[in-house]
Amino acid sequence: MNKPAHSIDEPEQRTPRADRPPTEGFVIIVDGHFKSEFDTAEAAEASGRQLKSTYPMLKIELYDAVTRARTLLG
C-alpha cells in the first residue's frame, strides 16, 4: 500500500517526548511516567482520582509544569 502524501500546507504535528517533562499545563504521572496532559489542575486531579479509584495500587501524582511541583494523590 502507498503511504498518503503530505501537503506543504499541513502543519507538522509535534508529539511530546516521554522523557522530557512538559513546559505548560498539568500532567498525570502514573508510576513515574508522564501520561495525560490537562489545561487545568482541577481536570487533572479529577482524572487522576478516577484512575486511582479504578486502580488503587497505582502511584499517581499531579505535575504542575510551571512550578515543576509534584503532588501525590492519596
* Edge-first strand listing for the sheet containing 33-38: 33-38, 26-30, 60-64, 69-72
Residue ranges per structural domain of the chain: 26-72
Q: What is the pLDDT of residue 74?
A: 80
All cell numbers assigned to 74:
492519596
Q: What is the full per-residue pLDDT of the chain (74 aa) written as tens digits?
A: 666 665 555 554 455 566 677 788 999 999 999 999 999 999 999 999 999 999 999 999 999 999 999 999 98
Q: What is the pLDDT of residue 24?
A: 87
Q: Kindly report the CA angle at 65 between 59 and 68, in degrees rounded to 5?
A: 75
30/45 Cα distance (integer angstroms)? 12
Distances (CA, A) of 54 to 1, 14, 40, 48: 41, 31, 22, 10
